[in-house]
Amino acid sequence: MAESNYPAVIKKLFTRSAIGRRTKKRVKFYTPLLEKILVDLFAEGKLFYYLQGSEKMHIYQNATRTYALNFTKLFSYSKRRERDQDIKPFMKNHIYHLLKDIFD
């Protein structure tokens, strides 16, 4: 296997993944939404090993403080990835103070 300075990992896309469609100069392409990235941090722990533990907590805190997340989309995608039983308790334990309205 050849090593690269800029490796790329290509994985199969899950059905109804949280992706956005964009067009630039008449070229249509898809980009992952933040909700998908947040769920994939849990679902792909081995791939994102360097973003686990306290780093994952900081990512979730910054994402919820900075961006308007669609929690319906996030929880729906997490259920399809079979990670909803991991994500909801994680959010309640680590960022509940930012999401009281969602869980109450």
pLDDT, tens digit, 9 for 90 and up, residues 80-104: 999 999 999 999 888 888 887 777 6
Which residue(s) pair with 21 in the sheet?
Answer: 30
Report the alpha-carbon distance of residue 92 to residue 70 in Å, rounded. Answer: 17
> What does the pLDDT look like over 31-59, one tens digit per residue?
999 999 999 999 999 999 999 999 999 99
Helix (H) / strand (E) element for 64: namely: helix 54-66
Given a contact cutoff of 8 angstroms between Cβ atoms, the answer to whether 48 and 41 are in contact is yes
DSSP 49: G
Reported pTM:
0.83
